[in-house]
């Protein structure tokens, strides 16, 4: 084969790859459209006054905290005011080095409390258990540092109820978030896990731990992430839900049946993507053992979180996510094309592996190859333009379609100028931001390959939204 | 364009190029669709707000009397009006509710709802079903009964709710069997409906249904579901049937669900026997029931359960020990100090601390 044949072959490989990945996402988009329509119709009368049946399943909210001194008080207070009949909040202080434990003691009048240990999952030693004298449903586990997965496992050990909900300490929840995310468990007893949509809190106004008005952030990076989150949640996850092939439930807000997770061995300590790894493992275990189950995604925006506003922090986050994805998939490689793998093993897993896991490698290589080959005169200007047209055109279609899904369902950003800004963002994110993201993800992939050490995902938080100050 | 150096001459590449152009055109169309949808939303919301301002005082007036000057409902606002009317209907009771129904009759809401019932839009069908239920409209009884068997759990549940509102007595026996069979109906919603209908209407039907289900081989799932539904029934009337099911069933799930309903001290022997059941969740239910109907003599049995391998059995055994007649925290402390099992001691310490804190 001559050099020209190689160049031509590579040119077509990258072109077809870009068409393939984006067509896959468009298919997911169509699936999401149907799910979203059914969901919105089914919940059209939710605002009518309804009583509580007393049959709602009790839930333990687990809040792992590591160096969260600035935000922990407000977050826990908001979690104590949710509109749900029966729940407890268990905060797990994972050996924080700052004043997280002191802040908790001060804010909630904690006292040490003797608790009979339920040690089904192995964790780092628990130093003490505390109970709030102000809020009977609040307990705090103070333990030695062992990472987020270890903290969650300690929370599962300490929890009292059959369902647990892992929540990030900086998350802001909607008042009825638990009600909505527990619904799939009531509707179908086969449900073992359910996750909700996470939205971006930067630029919003939060008072007394609750979101009072939705705004757009002033920071460009945070703005770009709004569209990215829309894409990730409204079709990246919702599309897989009707096929029972959701592989990711965000660690920021996800609910699980405790017995199922304990039987599966709890969260793994040796991955930075413990949330995704657990979900993929549950698919693998339930599929291979032929146990009927459902893992559901709820499209309602129920949880708000702060996203990075600096390139450095964002890069670290994306690198960590890519490593988490790599670990989750390779640790559960047995699900891939397993004879009993179903949609999870035959569709979602290969899709994730080709387009999300190895995708950055091919995408970055594609851009570099096409630009270099064009500059060196190895590919024609027509081929170069066609490649760019496909890469940017499909990118735009996907971004705009996520905004379209949002407009067809929740219209979270109510003001016309907010929509105008988002329309602009869906276009500009394709010119630089997406490519940068691919590069960071490729870096994450390389780091995973060279096995650098995993640790807690530390993120510098501004928490400006907690006191308002966002653009409304 | 064909002469441009940027347009491919190779037919395959040209095809891909055209796909790219098509995709760009698609995004522009979608962008326009977003804008059109937003404009429509703003227009609809403004219109709804205007009509709400007009109708809200009218509906609120129904608390005292039926208003006389009734407005027309524009076709596009029918769904919105029905929703507002239903909202008010669910929020008030007594005369105000009756006045709302008179107002609905005068405004021919039944006709509107009947038309909407055949709509292809689920949202419209749901509001129509709810309205017909609140109006007690018997003319659509057959249609609503058909809808109870609809594949959509949302539509079928709404239809069941409407039938119960129209005439619970006439439909309860049949609906209870449907409720037991339709596992896609969330138990919480089913229970809420039964609770609203009241124990006087539900008890007899639930008893008949569970007796029939218990005879069916492999019907244990339905029996468990019916036992959960029976939590809305008259406790004394269901006690003999439930007691018999608990004694005779070999299914641990059935026994555990039945135990939850036992509140008669005459069932104590059955409960005590279940305290030694091999399934932990049956022992757990037994421990909880002993806390409600147990006697002082059951302290021995519960003390033994403190060494159970299940955390939850130990926890509820300790709590039930404290709930026994004439039991005190001091009694628990004595048991703790004498108990040889480390887990039992830990559990008693926790329950004692909880009792002191509350």
pLDDT of the residue at B218: 80
| pLDDT beyond 80 at A353 | yes
**A133/B349 Cβ within 8 A:** no
Task: Give the DSSP per-residue string, B210-234.
Answer: HHHHHHSTT-HHHHHHHHHHGGGS-
Q: Per-residue b/e over B330-345, b at no fewer than 16 CB within 10 Å?
A: eebeebbeebeeebbb
**A411/B38 Cβ within 8 A:** yes
pLDDT of the residue at A302: 80
Q: Residue A17 and residue A19: Cα distance in Å, rounded?
A: 5
Q: Residue A420 and residue B29: Cα distance in Å, rounded?
A: 16
Residues of A within 8 A of B24 (CB-CB) are 389, 393, 396
B22 CB-near residues (< 8 Å, 6+ apart) = none
Query: Do the beta carbons of residue A465 and residue A204 sit within 8 Å?
Result: yes
What average pLDDT score do residues A177-206 get? 90
pLDDT of the residue at B117: 92
High-pLDDT (> 90) share of chain A, %: 61
Confidence of residue A50 (pLDDT cuts 50, 70, 90): low
pLDDT of the residue at B10: 85
- pLDDT per residue over A439-469, tens digit each? 999 999 999 988 765 555 555 555 555 543 3
pLDDT of the residue at B65: 86
**B188/A56 Cβ within 8 A:** yes
- pLDDT per residue over A105-147, tens digit each? 999 999 999 888 777 899 999 999 999 999 999 999 999 999 9
What average pLDDT score do residues B283-300 get? 95
Chain A nearest C-alpha distance from B134 (Å): 13
| pLDDT beyond 70 at B3 | no
**A116/B311 Cβ within 8 A:** yes
By Cβ distance, the residue of A42, A186, A411 closest to B187 is A186
Q: Residue B38 and residue B36: Cα distance in Å, rounded?
A: 5
**B188/A55 Cβ within 8 A:** yes
Q: Per-residue b/e over B191-210, b at no fewer than 16 CB within 10 Å?
A: bbbbbbbebebbbbbbbebb
What average pLDDT does the structure give for chain B?
92
By Cβ distance, the residue of A15, A55, A114 closest to B16 is A15
Chain A nearest C-alpha distance from B269 (Å): 28
B180 CB-near residues (< 8 Å, 6+ apart) = B209, B213, B222, B225, B226, B229
pLDDT of the residue at A470: 34
What average pLDDT does the structure give for chain A?
89
**B130/A41 Cβ within 8 A:** no
Chain A nearest C-alpha distance from B325 (Å): 25
What average pLDDT score do residues B111-123 get? 90
Range of weakest confidence among A32-46, A340-354, A380-394 = A32-46
Find the residue in B nearest to A387 (Cα): B17
By Cβ distance, the residue of A48, A386, A426 closest to B20 is A386
pLDDT of the residue at A472: 28
pLDDT of the residue at A46: 77
- pLDDT per residue over A358-413, tens digit each? 999 999 999 999 999 999 999 888 889 999 999 999 999 999 999 999 998 888 89
Chain B nearest C-alpha distance from A459 (Å): 34
ipTM higher than threshold 0.85: no
Chain B nearest C-alpha distance from A323 (Å): 32
pLDDT of the residue at B71: 81
**A416/B38 Cβ within 8 A:** yes
Question: Helix, strand or coil for residue B264?
Answer: coil
- Angle subtended at Cα B280 by Cα B276 and Cα B283, rounded to the nearest 5 degrees: 45
**B349/A116 Cβ within 8 A:** yes
By Cβ distance, the residue of A48, A383, A393 closest to B27 is A393
Domains and CATH numbers, chain A: 3-24+353-449 (no CATH), 60-335 (3.90.550.10)
Chain B nearest C-alpha distance from A315 (Å): 28
**A183/B8 Cβ within 8 A:** no
Interface test with B, best of A21, A35, A400 (most B CBs within 10 A): A400
Residues of A within 8 A of B228 (CB-CB) are 55
By Cβ distance, the residue of A188, A380, A397 closest to B27 is A397
Residues of A within 8 A of B314 (CB-CB) are 116
- Residue A185 in tokens: 């468990």
Q: Per-residue b/e over B118-138, b at no fewer than 16 CB within 10 Å?
A: eeeebbbbbbbbbbbbbbebe
Residues of B within 8 A of A401 (CB-CB) are 30
| pLDDT beyond 90 at A40 | no
By Cβ distance, the residue of A51, A117, A403 closest to B34 is A403
pTM of the model as a whole: 0.86
Residues of A within 8 A of B30 (CB-CB) are 397, 400-401, 404
| pLDDT beyond 50 at B237 | yes
**B20/A390 Cβ within 8 A:** yes
**A19/B90 Cβ within 8 A:** no
| pLDDT beyond 60 at A52 | no
Residues of B within 8 A of A84 (CB-CB) are none
**B122/A42 Cβ within 8 A:** yes
**A187/B30 Cβ within 8 A:** no
Q: Residue A307 and residue A311: Cα distance in Å, rounded?
A: 11
By Cβ distance, the residue of B6, B126, B184 closest to A381 is B6
A94 CB-near residues (< 8 Å, 6+ apart) = A64, A65, A66, A143, A145, A146, A147, A148, A150, A151, A154, A456
By Cβ distance, the residue of B30, B191, B350 closest to A400 is B30
Q: Residue B284 and residue B112: Cα distance in Å, rounded?
A: 53
Residues of B within 8 A of A403 (CB-CB) are 34
Interface test with A, best of B5, B27, B229 (most A CBs within 10 A): B27
Question: Assign residue B10 a region: left if phi > 0, alpha if psi is -120 to 50, beta otherwise?
Answer: beta
Q: Give the CA radius of gyration of chain B.
A: 30
- pLDDT per residue over B136-186, tens digit each? 989 999 999 999 999 988 899 999 999 999 999 999 999 999 999 998 898
Residues of B within 8 A of A194 (CB-CB) are none
Find the residue in A nearest to B191 (Cα): A53
pLDDT of the residue at B286: 97
Confidence of residue A71 (pLDDT cuts 50, 70, 90): confident
Chain A nearest C-alpha distance from B90 (Å): 6
Interface test with A, best of B32, B34, B119, B152 (most A CBs within 10 A): B34
- Residue A17 in tokens: 């790859």
Q: Tell me which H or E stretch contains A8.
A: helix A3-42
The partner residues of A87 in beta bridges, in order of sequence, read A59
**B37/A404 Cβ within 8 A:** yes
- pLDDT per residue over A183-193, tens digit each? 899 888 899 99
- pLDDT per residue over A266-319, tens digit each? 999 999 899 999 999 999 999 999 999 999 999 887 889 889 999 999 999 999
Find the residue in A nearest to B154 (Cα): A42
């Amino acid at each position: 084969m001559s050099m020209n044949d190689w160049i031509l072959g590579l040119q077509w490989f990258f072109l077809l790859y870009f068409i393939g990945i984006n067509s896959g996402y468009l298919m997911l988009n169509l699936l999401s459209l149907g799910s979203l329509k059914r969901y919105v119709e089914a919940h059209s009368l939710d605002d009518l006054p309804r009583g509580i049946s007393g049959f709602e399943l009790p839930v333990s909210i687990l809040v792992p905290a590591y160096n969260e001194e600035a935000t922990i008080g407000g977050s826990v207070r908001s979690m104590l005011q949710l509109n749900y009949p029966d729940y407890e909040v268990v905060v797990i202080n994972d050996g924080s080095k700052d004043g997280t434990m002191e802040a908790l003691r001060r804010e909630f009048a904690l006292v040490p409390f003797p608790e009979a240990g339920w040690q089904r999952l192995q964790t780092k030693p628990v130093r003490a258990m505390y109970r709030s004298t102000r809020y009977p449903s609040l307990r705090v586990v103070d333990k030695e540092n062992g990472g987020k997965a270890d903290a969650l496992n300690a929370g599962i050990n300490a929890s009292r109820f059959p369902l647990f909900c892992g929540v990030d300490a900086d998350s802001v929840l909607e008042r009825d978030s638990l009600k909505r995310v527990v619904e799939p468990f009531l509707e179908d007893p086969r449900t073992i896990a359910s996750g909700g949509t996470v939205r971006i809190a930067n630029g919003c106004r939060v008072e007394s731990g609750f979101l009072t008005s939705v705004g757009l952030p002033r920071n460009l990076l945070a703005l770009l992430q709004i569209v990215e989150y829309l894409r990730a949640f409204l079709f990246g996850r919702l599309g897989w839900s009707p096929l029972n092939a959701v592989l990711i439930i965000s660690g920021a807000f996800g609910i699980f049946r405790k017995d199922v997770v304990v039987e599966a061995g709890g969260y793994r300590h040796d991955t930075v993507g413990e949330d995704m790894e657990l979900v993929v493992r549950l698919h693998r275990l339930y599929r291979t053992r032929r146990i009927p189950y459902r893992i559901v995604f709820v499209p309602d925006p129920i949880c708000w979180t702060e996203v990075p506003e600096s390139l450095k922090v964002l890069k670290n986050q994306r690198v960590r996510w890519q490593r988490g994805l790599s670990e989750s998939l390779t640790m559960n490689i047995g699900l891939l094309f397993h004879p009993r793998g179903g949609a999870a093993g035959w569709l979602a897993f290969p899709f994730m592996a080709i387009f999300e896991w190895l995708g950055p490698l091919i995408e970055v290589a594609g851009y570099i190859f096409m630009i270099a080959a064009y500059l060196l005169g190895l590919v024609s200007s027509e081929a170069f333009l066609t490649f760019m047209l496909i890469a940017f055109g499909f990118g735009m279609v996907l971004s705009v379609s996520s905004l379209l899904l949002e407009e067809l369902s929740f219209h979270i950003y109510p003001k016309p100028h907010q929509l105008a800004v988002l329309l602009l963002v869906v276009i500009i994110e394709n010119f630089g931001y997406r490519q940068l993201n691919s590069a960071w993800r490729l870096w994450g992939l390389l780091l995973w390959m060279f096995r650098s050490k995993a640790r807690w995902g530390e993120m510098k938080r501004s928490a400006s939204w907690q006191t308002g100050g966002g653009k409304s | 364009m064909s002469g441009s150096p940027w347009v491919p001459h190779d037919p395959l590449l040209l095809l891909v190029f055209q796909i790219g152009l098509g995709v760009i055109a698609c995004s522009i169309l979608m962008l326009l669709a977003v804008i059109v949808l937003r404009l429509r939303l703003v227009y609809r919301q403004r219109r709804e707000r205007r009509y709400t301002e007009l109708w809200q005082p009218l509906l609120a007036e129904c608390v005292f009397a039926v208003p006389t000057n009734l407005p027309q409902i524009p076709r596009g606002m029918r769904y919105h009006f029905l929703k507002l009317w239903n909202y008010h209907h669910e929020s008030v009771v007594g005369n105000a509710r009756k006045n709302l129904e008179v107002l609905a009759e005068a405004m021919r809401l039944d006709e509107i709802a009947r038309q909407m019932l055949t709509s292809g839009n689920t949202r419209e069908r749901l509001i129509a079903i709810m309205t017909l239920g609140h109006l007690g409209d018997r003319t659509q009884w057959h249609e609503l009964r058909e809808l109870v068997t609809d594949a959509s759990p949302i539509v079928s549940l709404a239809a069941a709710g409407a039938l119960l509102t129209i005439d619970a007595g006439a439909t309860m026996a049949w609906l209870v069997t449907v409720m037991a069979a339709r596992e896609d109906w969330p138990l919480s919603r089913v229970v809420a409906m039964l609770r609203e209908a009241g124990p006087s209407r539900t008890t007899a039907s639930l008893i008949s249904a569970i007796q029939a289900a218990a005879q069916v081989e492999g019907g244990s799932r339905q029996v468990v579901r019916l036992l959960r539904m029976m939590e809305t029934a008259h406790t004394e009337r269901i006690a003999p049937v439930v007691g018999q099911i608990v004694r005779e069933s070999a299914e641990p799930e059935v026994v555990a669900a039945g135990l939850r309903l036992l509140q008669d001290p005459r069932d104590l022997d059955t409960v005590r026997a279940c305290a030694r059941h091999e399934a932990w969740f049956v022992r757990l239910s037994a421990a909880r029931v002993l806390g409600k109907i147990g006697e002082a003599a059951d302290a021995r049995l519960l003390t033994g359960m403190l060494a159970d391998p299940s955390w939850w059995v130990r926890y509820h055994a300790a709590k039930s020990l404290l709930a026994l007649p004439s039991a005190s925290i001091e009694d628990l402390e004595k048991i703790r100090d004498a108990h040889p099992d480390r887990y039992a001691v830990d559990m008693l310490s926790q329950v004692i601390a909880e009792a002191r804190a509350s």
